Structures are given as structure tokens and as C-alpha cells.
Chains A and B, each alone.
Chain A
């Protein structure tokens, strides 16, 4: 039955229905049920181009179902369910509607078989998700949302430009594998890269995620970047450039993550770093590597959400996620702390946890391809990532010094969903064959060998050793309540300054205009007012005689002109 209806429309429909429902649990239930229905529908979908529509002479493929799009759609349904459960307490119509539209757009984009459809959903994700940031309703979140929207729309505009060039060159709007050999594919590549958070195009992610609401961050982390991963895997698998971009993206955030005080920003940096792994996987482009990238995206959604959920719960209870304000709250929020540790272990790729089985696929693929430097970068990113997310986040959030904070344990539905996500993380880690079965390619890979476990544990525990040894010394960068310059300085400061320079002549012009307004213009308006204002002759009642006089004059003149000519 649901074959005829694009899955995305289920979510849009729900977004339409939601405001009609009475405020309260019924709405939350709707947000929860739709992903389940959609997930079941996606699971049952046959392969092929199921739904087509005509649009200005283009044939749009709204439902291209193949193993690659299906795994991402399933992932998004799961993520929507988890996010919906986490937001159970939410009574904010804007956020709930935005959430449904956002998820719908993301799933629609995944199933888009042509570039035009992709573009519409691509912009749809940008516009709907910004409301999750603005829903925080603070000035900072407003500006942050604006920056986010600008960058996301910018990505959409580049995509559109790329599509137009692509269409005019090839006459096709099909969304298939491309090579970087024309301006069109470059534009599309960069558009994807912005959403995927390539190195130096990544700051929106760090900026926007922590600015969203408690629930908004959880939702945001799951879709936009992973959608871009899908798009890259579809369009640019095997593009060598991606390997180097990936390596750089994986290493670049390490230092900033170390210095950052806001733990939600730290997690955002860490997730950005994981994106780098996926780029490498896509760039290598072998079936093993692609499977690795997709698996990593899959578990990345799980542990990314888990980490943001635990920090979200902390924020929900304490109102802050800053390392300098937290500490010692494991005593009263032990379950949340435990789930945070599971998430930390998963992102750090501890054996038995989710990240292990996916990350090893990519690193192995890099090693097999003898990409020495890349392999080193990924190893460094693994160790550094552990240092940041595996140690710093749980340590400063829950342990560290004992503050005066004694928040209550997270609410029941949050504990439930965190527990569920944690179980999924462990399941994926202990039962990799089930995860691999979802992947588009048939690859036999065995992550659990003694040697691999030992080397991974060495890497992680010796990183921990470095942490433990340096922590008491001044060589450890303890968090400070400060801002650290990142690449976004270029557009938040440098570009602004440049615009400021440009403003000087403009200001001069307006100064002159002001002087003109104060002087001649004012006099002119006064004259006009005296001539035409309510007190003036032109707008007063005229005596009937005056009117008749004018008639006489007009007649005289007209006669004169008629006769004279």
C-alpha cells in the first residue's frame, strides 16, 4: 500500500496533522509512531524506481530504492524514532513539526533518484532544521541559526548551479556516480562537502549543533552530515581527493576539541572527526571501504545521538554543558554517566562497542591500499578522538572535581532512550554480522581477531595513560571558559572587517544624505506642505465661484488653442 507514497510524504503528512492534535502526549506519540511505520515500510520496499512525477518537463524519481539508499533510509527512521523518544517531554509545536519535516526531507533526499528532487530536499533539510536551533529562543541561537542557514542555503545554491551546468552539458538530471572533471561536478562536490563538513567547511557544525535545543542537537546530529555522506557515496565513490580531505578532516579538529570548554561542542568536533573516516572510506571506493564508510555512518548516528542525549540530559537538568561548570554529577546521575561511557567507548572504537567494527573496516581498507600517511592520520585521529570524546567528555561532565551540582537523574523517557541506544551500540559492536548484513555490498570481514583486539587496546589504553599522566600537570590543557579561534574566524571576523572597510564610502554617502535631509530636503518638504498640505489652498474647500472661474479660464484657453491652431 505504501509503495505508491514516497516515504518522505509520511513525515510531511504527520507534520500537517500534528498541529491539529491536542497538545500533549498524543503529539509526542505521533512523532514516535511515524518513524516506526516508515521504517517498516522502507524495510518491505521492493528495489527499483517506484514513484515518478512530472515537473516542468522533467521526470523526477521520487523513490529510487536500492541497497545504498535503503540502508540510509532505515538508519534515518531509527534515528527519528530515537530522537522522537528523547523528545517525548517536548510540548513545542515548532520543534515537533520542524523535526518531522527535517526527517522527511532527509529521507526524501536519500530516495531521490534525480538531481532536481535531491535539490529540493537538500534545501528542505536546511530550512526545516534551522528551526531546531531557533527554538532555543535566545539571541545567540538566533545568530547561530542564521549562520547555519546561510551556509546550508549556500550549499543548496551551489548544488543548484552545479545541477544546471550538469544538465546543460549532459542533458540528464539523473543522480549517478560522477567524476571531478567539469565545473558542474566540482560545484556539486563542494555543495556535498559543505553539508558533509569537509575540513574548513566544517565550522557550521561546531557552531550550530550546540546552539540548538537539548532535543534539537540530538536530531541535528543524525541527519544533515549523514545525508551528505550518502550523497558522496552515491556520487563520488572512489574519488581519490576524498581520501586526503578525509584524512585532514579527521586530524584537524583534534586540537580545538582539546581546548573547547562546551562539551557539546567537543562532541560536535569529535563527530566531525568521524566524518573524516567516512570520507576516506568513500574515497578509497573499494567495496570493503564503502561498506566501512556506510557502517561507520550507521553507528556514527547511534553513538553521536547517544553522546548528545547524555549531555542533553545533563543540560536539561543543570542548564549547562560546559566543562568548567560541571563535574561530580555521576553521583546523582549515575545511569546517564554510564550511558555516556558507553557512547564514549563506542565513538572511541573500544572492542565490543559499535565504533570498533566500523572503524576497523576503514582503517584496514586504508592499510590495504598502502596509504601510509592517511593510515597514520586515521590512527592519530583514533587515538586523539579517544582522548577527546572517550576521556575528556565523560571525565569533565560526570567525574572531575566535585561541584555543588546535585541534579536529579534524567527523566524516565530519556533514560529509556539512552538505554536503548546504548544497547544498540553494544549490539552492533558484539554482533557485527547483523550490522554488515544491512550494508549494500557483500564483504566478509572479521573485526575480532586477537591481534586486532590487542593492538586497538594498546592504542587506546596508552592514550589513556598519556591522559592520566599529563592531567595533573600543566601540560594538560584544562578547559577554560573562553572562546578559541577556529576557521570560522575568517568569516565571522575577517570578512566582517573587510565589509567594514567597504562600509566607509557607503557611510560617507549616507552622512551626506543625512545632511541633505536635514537641510534642503526639509525645506523642500516644508514648501510642499505649505503648498499641498491640508491647510493649503489646493486642498481646502474652494468657493463655488473660484471653481466656476477656473472653468471659464479653461474654456477660454481651450478655445484659444483651438482657434489659434
Chain B
């Protein structure tokens, strides 16, 4: 372990922030069950989420200058003890996850009340908090095996949450089952990869791993570890062609869960991928460059087009967005595969911008489900006049998904195109623009359904209540805000990219 990192002597509450980040939601989850009341389930979940958000904001503020917080769990120094490390990259992810959760929860209260029967509510919010703390844990921990544990915590609770959609559509069970199989295989691969790493280096601390890999250099074991970890996490990321669990899971999960997962779960997985590919393994390894160039890059491009085409032809708004998510993950992976600072910046910033955009859109889907009883295009006909606020949000967030200037989506695609041009890969740049045109088509289809088709005469659809509208619009306005004001997102993403690309050096702080 690098000695120049400030050893963390936890004396005040502020110093305990990294632990509190996880402990608060983690303790709140069983609290709901213990109190047993449905009445207290939501307030507790919300309070925990809000507290996490505040902590995450404080953490990000303190690492934005490029410094690193290293927190030793239980006072055991790494590499023996478990270490929580906060730097710009994961503080950013922590903030995203907790912010999305805090915005989604008020929405979930109304939406879930209609979609999930009341007797399940207490357990539902417990599972939600577990999933949430799992995701936060994955992001914050500095220990490879700990990553696996938190990943499993979040995955297992995710399977439960997705299965809650069964009350509306029994296919949620199949979707959940499929995800369970795939997720388990992915986790297994991941843990196998970590096993290989342990075999090769004898440590599990990420920073330490990075150091030793850098020292030891390339070996067959490390190569095998790399392949297993990339594929294992690739599954969680929903990398094409092992993405197939995602559309079903997103489509049949309860709306609030879809919004939360779409904005956070895959994003956290992407973070893990970044962490391993760039920090743990040396980006200079030739096998890594080749893997990125010959596997990630082509599959990312295929995802951008194939899934966009599928989205174009969908007749279910939610399913369409789910496939669009896979396509958008393609952009993120594309940015990673550029292996330059601009590309990774684009990946990180798109991770954030796509998160808020999709959160807004999936919440809007939930609004249609809430009011009109479904998200198929024929149930949504002409609802632009009946649900003007929701539909306006769909239009704006849709523009952000396309990447229209003035919206958040534009910023990330712009940086991505720049990254491609920096590499001299102008055909890739053209493909990025081309697949954005497909987004124009599938978003236009929604707008056409909402605004250009007549409202059925007997339609009694009303605008959804404020508790749903406000979260939708917070996310929608965020799409515009981060499209116009890029200081915060850009500087954080650049700091994160710089730290990541520095390889093991980036793990030691400056």
C-alpha cells in the first residue's frame, strides 16, 4: 500500500462518512422488517436514501480535487483489512445512485401502491434498500472480494424486485428467473476471475492488486482472470450479445424499479468494469488493448445498431426503452474501448447523463401504466393531450436520448465523437451519429403516438398525481440543466477518467 496516502484516523463523524454511506441503508433495511409496519417502510427507506445522498455529495466534494479517501474498515489497515476508497470516479457513481434513488422513491410510493399489493410493501422496500446498499457498496469498496459480495447482495435483491412485477404480468417471473441464471453465471465468472487474481498475486485489495500486477507483469493466470472478469461483469453491464436478460427484466419489473435499475444497476456494473480494466489491470497490457479493440468495440457497435433497430420496431414503450438502454450501453462501452482520456470521459459522462435521461423516461412509462393501465403504443394513443405534463417530459427526455443540443445526451455524444476523432476513427464517429438517427426514429414514434394520433373518445385518462410528476420533472429538468451547464459533470468525469487511465498509479492518489 502506498504510504503517501493520508492514513485515515477516524475521529469525527465526518471521517466516518465512507462507512456511514453503506451502513445507513444497510441497517435501515432490516429495520423495516423489524418494525414490521407497512406505514414505516417507505419513510425509513426514503430517509436512508436521503442520508446516503447527503453523504455522497459530501464525499464527492472532498475528492473533486483528485485526492483519495481511504477508509479502513474496523481500523484494520489494508491489504489485510477491508478498505473503502473514495475517488472522483466512484464518488461520482455514489452520487448518481443515491440521487436517483432519492428522486425515484417518492415516485415509487405512488406507483408501487398501484402495481404491487400492499402486503408486500414492507418486504419490497427492504429489498429495495438492500439492492441500493449493494450498489453503493460495489462502488465504494476497495476490496475485490467485497465487490463480489456487494454485487451479489444487489443482484439477489434485484431478482426479488423484478419478480414483484408478476402481479401485473406473470412474465416477470420468467424474466426474473432468466436474470437469476445469467446474473449468477456472471457473478461466478467474476469470482473465478478474482480467484485467478488471488492465485497470481496473493492479495484481494484492489490497490494492492494493481501494484502487484504492475510489478509482476503479464502472465497466463492474469490473462485468464481478465477474460473471466470482463465477461462476468459484461453480463451485468448487459454487453451485447449477453444482454438478453435486460429487456425482459426491465419490461416486466415494476415501473419504479425499472427506473431505478436502468439508471443505476448497469451503471455501477460499468463502473466495476472501468475499475478493473483500467485500474487493476494495466491499460498498457497488449491483451487488454486487443480485447477492447477486437471484442468490446465491435460488439458495442453492433449493440448500438441492432438494439436500436429492435427499439424502432417495438410496440411497447417500456420494451422499446429497454432495448434502447442496451444500445446506449453500447456507447459507454465504445467510449471505454477508445482507451484514451476523452473516450473514458465520454463513457463516464454518458453513464451519468443516460442514467438521468432513462430515469425520466422510465418514470414517465410508469405514469402511463398508472393512468392508462399499460405502456403499449395503442393504449397511449393521443395521451399527449390528456397527460400534457408527463408527455412533455417524455419529449424533452426523448430529445436528450437522441442527443439534441441543449440536452444532457448531446454532451456525452459530443465528447464520444471527439474521442473517436482523437483516435482517428472517423468511421466510428459516423456510426455514432448514424445510430443517433435511429434514436430519432424510435422517439418520434412515441411522439407521434402521443400527439398526432386521436385520443379515443371514451378515454378517461387523467394526468398522474404530483408525487409522480415532480420526480419525473426533476429528472427531465436535470436533462436540460446538465445539457446547458456542463461544468460539474465534465470536471468530475474528466477527473475520474484521468484517475482511471493512470492505471495502478491512479489508485494511489496524487
B485: interface (CB < 8 Å): no
A475: interface (CB < 8 Å): no
Report the count of interface residues on B (CB-CB < 8 A).
40
Query: Pick the contact of B227 from A536, A546, A553, A559 — CB < 8 Å?
Result: A559
Q: Are A561 and B294 in contact (CB under 8 A)?
A: yes
Query: Pick the contact of A533 from B220, B248, B291, B313 — CB < 8 Å?
Result: B313
B23: interface (CB < 8 Å): no
Kindly provide the distance from the CB of A526 to the nearest chain B CB, expressed in whole angstroms.
11
Of A529, A536, A538, A553, the most chain B CB neighbours within 10 A belong to A538
Query: Pick the contact of A528 from B248, B289, B309, B314 — CB < 8 Å?
Result: B309
For A555, give the chain B residue with the smallest CB separation. B231
A558 to B177, CA, bound (A): 26
Residues of B within 8 Å of A542, CB to CB, are 244
Interface residues on A, range: 20 to 34
Residues of B within 8 Å of A546, CB to CB, are 244
Q: Are A532 and B310 in contact (CB under 8 A)?
A: yes
A444: interface (CB < 8 Å): no
Q: Are A547 and B178 in contact (CB under 8 A)?
A: yes
Residues of A within 8 Å of B7, CB to CB, are none
Q: Are A563 and B220 in contact (CB under 8 A)?
A: yes
Once A532-B312, A532-B313, A538-B310 are accepted as A-B contacts, the answer to whether A554 and B291 lie under 8 Å apart by CB is no
Once A555-B189, A561-B287 are accepted as A-B contacts, the answer to whether A547 and B244 lie under 8 Å apart by CB is yes
A563 to B227, CA, bound (A): 9
Q: Are A554 and B231 in contact (CB under 8 A)?
A: yes
B230: interface (CB < 8 Å): yes
Query: Pick the contact of A538 from B177, B186, B290, B306 — CB < 8 Å?
Result: B306
Residues of A within 8 Å of B230, CB to CB, are 558
For A539, give the chain B residue with the smallest CB separation. B310
Q: Are B286 and A565 in contact (CB under 8 A)?
A: yes
Q: Mask for B423-466, Cβ within 8 A of A = 1, else 0?
A: 00000000000000000000000000000000000000000000
Q: Mask for B285-298, Cβ within 8 A of A = 1, else 0?
A: 01101110011000
Kindly provide the distance from the CB of A563 to the nearest chain B CB, expressed in whole angstroms.
6
Once A547-B242, A548-B181 are accepted as A-B contacts, the answer to whether A562 and B226 lie under 8 Å apart by CB is yes
For B305, give the chain A residue with the smallest CB separation. A532
Q: Mask for B214-242, Cβ within 8 A of A = 1, else 0?
A: 00000010011011101100110000011
Q: Of residues 246 to 265 in B, which have CB atoms within 8 Å of A's CB atoms?
A: 247-248
For A532, give the chain B residue with the smallest CB separation. B309
Q: Are A558 and B227 in contact (CB under 8 A)?
A: yes
A531 to B182, CA, bound (A): 24
A55: interface (CB < 8 Å): no
Residues of A within 8 Å of B235, CB to CB, are 551
Query: Pick the contact of A539 from B223, B295, B323 — CB < 8 Å?
Result: B323
Q: Of residues 143 to 187 in B, which have CB atoms within 8 Å of A's CB atoms?
A: 174, 177-178, 181-182, 185-186
A531 to B306, CA, bound (A): 9
Q: Are A551 and B182 in contact (CB under 8 A)?
A: yes
Q: Mask for A236-277, Cβ within 8 A of B = 1, else 0?
A: 000000000000000000000000000000000000000000
Query: Pick the contact of B290 from A529, A534, A547, A561 — CB < 8 Å?
Result: A561
Kindly provide the distance from the CB of A147 to the nearest chain B CB, expressed in whole angstroms.
29
Q: Mask for B384-401, Cβ within 8 A of A = 1, else 0?
A: 000000000000000000
Kindly provide the distance from the CB of A225 to the nearest chain B CB, expressed in whole angstroms.
40
Query: Pick the contact of A544 from B178, B226, B315 — CB < 8 Å?
Result: B178
Q: Are B182 and A547 in contact (CB under 8 A)?
A: yes
Q: Are B185 and A548 in contact (CB under 8 A)?
A: yes
For A551, give the chain B residue with the smallest CB separation. B242
For B235, give the chain A residue with the smallest CB separation. A551
Kindly provide the distance from the CB of A565 to the nearest chain B CB, expressed in whole angstroms.
4
Residues of A within 8 Å of B125, CB to CB, are none
B245: interface (CB < 8 Å): yes
Q: Of residues 506 to 553 in A, which have CB atoms within 8 Å of B's CB atoms?
A: 528-529, 531-534, 536, 538-539, 541-542, 544, 546-548, 550-551, 553
A553 to B228, CA, bound (A): 12
Once A541-B174, A551-B242 are accepted as A-B contacts, the answer to whether A558 and B185 lie under 8 Å apart by CB is no
A550 to B243, CA, bound (A): 10
Q: Are A550 and B244 in contact (CB under 8 A)?
A: yes
A557 to B242, CA, bound (A): 13
Q: Are A534 and B315 in contact (CB under 8 A)?
A: yes
Kindly provide the distance from the CB of A547 to the nearest chain B CB, expressed in whole angstroms.
5
Residues of A within 8 Å of B315, CB to CB, are 534
Kindly provide the distance from the CB of B281 to the nearest chain A CB, expressed in whole angstroms.
11
Q: Are B241 and A550 in contact (CB under 8 A)?
A: yes
A529 to B224, CA, bound (A): 39
A539 to B223, CA, bound (A): 34
Once A528-B309, A538-B306, A554-B234 are accepted as A-B contacts, the answer to whether A562 and B314 lie under 8 Å apart by CB is no
Kindly provide the distance from the CB of B242 to the nearest chain A CB, expressed in whole angstroms.
5
Q: Are B228 and A555 in contact (CB under 8 A)?
A: yes
Kindly provide the distance from the CB of B248 to the nearest chain A CB, expressed in whole angstroms.
7
A562 to B315, CA, bound (A): 40
For A546, give the chain B residue with the smallest CB separation. B244
A533 to B228, CA, bound (A): 33
Kindly provide the distance from the CB of A550 to the nearest chain B CB, expressed in whole angstroms.
5
Residues of A within 8 Å of B223, CB to CB, are 559, 562-563
A546 to B243, CA, bound (A): 12
Q: Are B174 and A554 in contact (CB under 8 A)?
A: no
Q: Are B244 and A562 in contact (CB under 8 A)?
A: no
For A530, give the chain B residue with the smallest CB separation. B313
7 tightest CB-CB pairs across the interface, nearest first? A532-B309, A565-B290, A533-B313, A558-B227, A562-B223, A562-B287, A559-B227
A binding-site residues for B, Cβ under 8 Å? 528-529, 531-534, 536, 538-539, 541-542, 544, 546-548, 550-551, 553-555, 557-559, 561-565
Task: Beyond the given A547-B245, A561-B290, A562-B227, please list 7 additional residue pairs across the A-B interface where CB-CB is below 8 A.
Answer: A532-B309, A534-B314, A547-B181, A547-B244, A548-B185, A558-B227, A558-B295
- 14 A-B residue pairs with Cβ-Cβ distance under 8 Å, sorted by A, are A532-B309, A532-B310, A539-B247, A541-B174, A541-B248, A547-B182, A548-B182, A550-B241, A551-B189, A555-B227, A562-B224, A565-B286, A565-B287, A565-B291
